[in-house]
Structure 1
Amino acid sequence: MTLNAILNTDSYKLGHYLQYPADTHAISALITTRGNSFRPEVMFFGLQMFLKEYLSKPITAADIDEAEEVAGLHGQPFDRAGWTHILNVHGGYLPLRIEALPEGIAIRRGVPVVQVVNTDPQVPWLTSHIEPALLRAVWYPSTVATTAWRLRLAIQPYLDRTADDIDGLQRNRISDFGARGTSSLEQAALGGAAHLVHFDSSDSLPGILHARRYYGARMAGKSIPASEHSTITAWGQSREADAFANMIDRFSKFAAYSVVSDSYDLNNAVAEIWGKQLQTNVRASGATLIVRPDSGDPIETPVQVVAQLAYAYGTRLNSKGFKVLDANVRVIQSDGISLQDIQMILGRLEGMGFSAENISFGMGSALLHKINRDTLSFTMRASALKDDKGAWRDIGRRPTNPQEKAPMSGRLAVITDGTDIVNIPLTELGNRENILQPVWENGRLVRDWTFDEVRKRAAEVVLPR
C-alpha cells in the first residue's frame, strides 16, 4: 500500500504541534503492555519490518502538499513549516531515535519494548504523530509471536512425554494456514512472519517473503504438496480412489504430501481406500501420506483417523513406549483448530497410547485473526519532556482510582537483573547494560536483526511452568 507517511496517523494528531508548551524541545514515549506478571508473557517481534518498509522512505514535497490539502478539507490544522523543515534539513527522513529490546525476547507485562524520542527540537510533536503507526507495527506481530509461543509451550509437554526427536518435531507441529482469513495481504505477511519465529511449517507465502525481505531468511518455512476439495471432487465420487492414486503418483518424489480425505465419506476413505485399496501404493511410494480430515468433530475425528491408520498400517513403539504410526502415514488436523482443541486431541491420543508425533496441526484465524491490541494490552504513551534548558521531566496522567497503578513515566532503561528483565529509570543505569538499544536514528537502521538471531533468542527463553 502506497501511503503518504505524513497521513499515516490519526486525524487529531495533525493539531498537536499547537498544543505543547512553547519551551518543549523533545517528547519521549514508551510502548509497553499494561499490567504486571510474575513470569514472561509477551514476546516482542516485528518492529524491524516497519522500520525498513515505512520509515526508510523519506517524505517528499508532494506528500506535504497532499497532506496540507487533506488536512484543510478534513477540518484539521497542518504544520507545513514543520514538515518542510523535516524535508529541507533531514532530507525527508523523520528525525527520531527509536530504541527497542532485541526481537524474539520474552518479557513480563509492564516492561517497555520500545522507547522513541524526536532528535530535532523544532518538531517535538513528531513523537506523538507516529504513535498510531508505530504502535500498530509492534502490537500485531508481537501478539502473533506470543500466540505461537504459547502454542509451542502447550505442545511441548506432550512431546516430552510421548515422542522421540523432540527438537526435530517441535518446529513443524503447527502450520500457518491463515492467509485467507486475514483482513489484508499485509496482515497475512506480518502475522505469517511472526508465526515463523517458533515454527518452520507454513503455507503463507506472504509470511515467508516478509521473513526473507526484512530479516534475510533465505527460506524460513517449508511446505508440502497438498490437495484441496476441488482437486479431489473434480474426479467425481466414483473416482475418488483415482484422485488419491494421482496424488501418490504425482508427489511420491517429495518427502511428504497431504490429501484432504473427507470429500464424501471420511471413514470409507481412510479404512477402505487408504487402508486397503491403495495401501501398497502408499508404502511403495517412499513418501509420507498425511491424511487430512477436514470436517466432523474436531477432537474425535482426528483421533479416530489415527486409530484407523494404526489398524491398517501398523505401529511401532518408540523409546518412551508410545505407539508411532508406520512412517508412510501421518495425520494433520486443521479445521478451525484452537489451542484447547490441540491439547484435547494430544491428551486423548496420549491416553490411547499414541505418541504426539503422529499428528500435526494447521491454524488460521485462531493464530492470525482472533486477536486484537487488547489481547496483550499494548499501549504507547508519552513519559518525559525535555525543555529548552535541556532538562528532562517526567510526564503522565494521575489515575482517578487510588488503587490503580500510575503509568510508568520518565526516560527508562531495561536491564537483566539476575534471571529477570526489569525496567529502571535511565538515570539509575550506571555501568549496567541497557538492553533497550538504538535500532533506528534519523532515517538510518542502526541494528539489523537476522531471522536466525530472532529464532535463537526465542528458542532460548526459559519456558515458564
Structure 2
Amino acid sequence: MAFNPILNTDSYKLSHWKQYPPGTDGMYSYVAARGGTASHVLFFGLQALLKQYFSQPLCAADIDEAEALVALHGVPFNRAGFERILSLHGGYWPVRIRAVAEGELVPTGIPMITIESTDPELFWVVSFLETALLRSWYPISVATRSFRAKEIIRRYLAQTADSLEGLPFKLHDFGARGVSSYESAQIGGMAHLVNFMGTDTLAAVAAARRYYHEPCAGYSIPAAEHSTITAWGRPHEGDAFANMLSQFAKPGAILAVVSDSYDVFHAVSELWGERLRQQVIDSGATVVIRPDSGEPVQVVAEVIDRLAASFGTTVNSKGYRVLNHVRVIQGDGVNLASIEAILSRLAKLGYSADNVAFGMGAELLQKLDRDTHKMALKCSAIRIAGEWRDVFKDPVTDPGKRSLGGRVVAARNSRSSWGLNTLERVSDADLQMRVVWENGKLLLDEDFATIRARAAAHLEH
C-alpha cells in the first residue's frame, strides 16, 4: 500500500496552521507517560518509527493526492506549506527530535521525546506530527509490560533457582495472531525482545534485524499445536507424542508438546509418565509439556506434581526441587497476576521457578492502549516574534491532565535521580536527552544489543 506522509495525521490537524497567534514562528512539544498502571515505563521503539515513517520524504504526487482528498473531506489544505517542505527541505519534515536512550526506565511525568520546529514558517508541523509520533505509546507499553513480567520471574528465580541463566527464555511471545496487523506484530514483538529472547512472532525478529541491526533477536523450538496432535485421533494421542519424540528429541534439544487435547492429567501421568517415560529419558532432550486450558495456577501445580512423580526431581542449592528431563510451559490465561500466582504456588510447594516458562499472547501485544500509561504529546512552548513563551493546559475538571510548560527536558540531579529541566537551564552533564533526528536525518542509530543491555541493567538495582 502506498504511503502518503501528509495523510498520516488526524483530520483536524489540517486546519491548525490557521489557528495559532499572529507572529508564531516556533513550537516545542514533548511526549510523556502521565500515569496509568506503572510508576515507570521502559522507553523503546522510536528509532524504528523514525526509520519507517519519518525517513520517507513527501513528493509532489503526495501533495496533489492529499489536496484532492481534503477538498472532499471538509477541512482546509495548506498547499503552500507542503510545497515549502518539498522545495526547501527536500520533502522532509523540518523538525528536531530529542529522546532519552532507548532501554531506559523512565518515571511517569518525565519527557521521553521532544520535538521542535526548525523552520519559522513551518512551526505547525510539530503539532501536525503528533499522530505519528505518539504511536510510540505502543512499543513503550509492550516493553514495559514485558519488563514487569521479567521483574516478577527474576525475583522467583533468585529465590528458588541456582542461577538466572534461564531468565531470557522464561516468557515467550505467543502474540502474533492476536494483534491487529503484521505491523503491530513487528513493533510489539520487538518491544518484548528488549527483555526476553523467546518468541514465535517471526515478524519481530525480522524487524529487529531491519531497524536495530540485530541478526537474530529471538529464538524458538519445535512445538506441537492441537491440530498436529488431534489429527492422530484420541486413541492415538500417545502415538502423536511418540512421533514428536522421534522427530525432534535429540540429545540437548528442547521441544514442546501441547498435552491437553483431551485429558491433560491422563496425558501427563499415563502417556508421558509411563508409556513414553523411558523414551524421553533416553532421548537426552528436554520435553516441555504445555497445558492449555483450565485454571492456570491449579493446573500448572498439578501437572508439575505428576511429572515429578514420574520423572523425579533434583534438589538444588536453594533447597527447591527441579524436574528431571521435563519442564512445563503455560500459555493460557497468562498475565502479570497469573505469573506471580503460579510462581508463588510452586515456591510454596517446594518447586523451583526453573520448572516453568510462560507464553503470553494478546495480553502482551494487544490488551493495552494509549491510556495504559496515559501517554500524551503536549505543546509546552510557543515562540512568537522570536520570543519563547511557556504554554500548558490545566483543566479544573481533571488535574491529572495538567501539562508541563517550557522547553522541558529529562534531566538528572546531583543524586542521579530523574527530574525535569529546560533547555535554557540544563547543563550538558545533566541532560538525559540526545538529538536523534533533525530535518530528515537520523543522527543516532543504536543496535539492539546496546538497548537490551541498558534495559537489563535496571533489573540489577
Instruction: Give the TM-score category using the shorter length.
Output: over 0.9
1:198-237 alignment, distance < 5 Å: 198-237=195-234
| Deviation by residue 1:214-238 (Cα, 9 ceiling, x = unmatched) | 1111111110000000001111112
Residue 25 of structure 2 is matched in structure 1 by 25
Local SS of the residue matching 1:165: coil
1:307-318 alignment, distance < 5 Å: 307-318=305-316
| Deviation by residue 1:325-354 (Cα, 9 ceiling, x = unmatched) | 00x210000012111111111111111111
Give the superposition deviation at 1:430: 3.5
Contact 1:45-1:103 at 8 Å conserved across structures? yes
1:61-460 alignment, distance < 5 Å: 61-136=60-135, 138-166=136-164, 168-253=165-250, 255-326=253-324, 328-388=325-385, 390-400=386-396, 406-417=402-413, 418-460=415-457
With structure 2 as the length reference, what TM-score do the two structures score?
0.96
C-alpha spacing 1:157/1:402, structure 2 compared with 1 (3 Å): closer
Contact 1:153-1:463 at 8 Å conserved across structures? no
Contact 2:205-2:216 at 8 Å conserved across structures? yes
Give the superposition deviation at 1:406: 4.0
Would you say how many aligned residue pairs link Structure 1 and Structure 2?
459
Determine if the alignment matches structure 1 residue 4 to structure 2 residue 1. Answer: no
C-alpha spacing 1:275/1:180, structure 2 compared with 1 (3 Å): same
| Deviation by residue 1:27-77 (Cα, 9 ceiling, x = unmatched) | 11010111599x951111111111001111110111000100111100010
Q: Give the distance between the partners of 2:198 and 2:356, measured in 1 at CA.
A: 14
Determine if the alignment matches structure 1 residue 46 to structure 2 residue 42. Answer: no
Contact 1:252-1:285 at 8 Å conserved across structures? yes
Contact 1:36-1:108 at 8 Å conserved across structures? no
Give the AA of the match of 1:416.
R
Q: Give the distance between the partners of 2:211 and 2:14, measured in 1 at CA.
A: 30
Local SS of the residue matching 2:278: helix
Q: Give the distance between the partners of 2:283 and 2:248, measured in 1 at CA.
A: 9
Local SS of the residue matching 1:210: helix
Give the AA of the match of 2:116.
V
| Deviation by residue 1:136-179 (Cα, 9 ceiling, x = unmatched) | 1x11100111101111111222111100121x121111000011
Q: Give the distance between the partners of 1:156 and 1:7, measured in 2 at CA.
A: 44
C-alpha spacing 1:404/1:169, structure 2 compared with 1 (3 Å): closer
Local SS of the residue matching 1:66: helix
Contact 2:412-2:418 at 8 Å conserved across structures? yes
Contact 1:251-1:257 at 8 Å conserved across structures? yes
Give the AA of the match of 2:22.
A
RMSD of aligned Cα (Å): 1.7
Give the superposition deviation at 1:375: 0.7
Give the AA of the match of 1:32.
A
Give the AA of the match of 1:414.
A
Contact 1:28-1:117 at 8 Å conserved across structures? yes
Give the superposition deviation at 1:387: 2.4
Give the superposition deviation at 1:21: 2.1
Q: Give the distance between the partners of 2:207 and 2:398, measured in 1 at CA.
A: 45
Give the superposition deviation at 1:313: 0.5
Q: Give the distance between the partners of 2:254 and 2:398, measured in 1 at CA.
A: 60
Give the AA of the match of 2:334.
I
Contact 2:393-2:401 at 8 Å conserved across structures? no
C-alpha spacing 1:163/1:462, structure 2 compared with 1 (3 Å): closer
Contact 2:114-2:409 at 8 Å conserved across structures? no
| Deviation by residue 1:408-465 (Cα, 9 ceiling, x = unmatched) | 111123222223111112221135341211000111001111111111110111567x
- % identical aligned pairs: 47
Local SS of the residue matching 2:221: coil
| Deviation by residue 1:91-126 (Cα, 9 ceiling, x = unmatched) | 111111110000010111100000001111111110
Give the superposition deviation at 1:250: 0.8
Unpaired segments of 5 or more residues in structure 1?
Answer: none
Local SS of the residue matching 1:428: coil
Q: Give the distance between the partners of 1:403 and 1:283, measured in 2 at CA.
A: 62
Q: Give the distance between the partners of 1:256 and 1:82, measured in 2 at CA.
A: 59
Give the AA of the match of 2:294.
G
With structure 1 as the length reference, what TM-score do the two structures score?
0.95
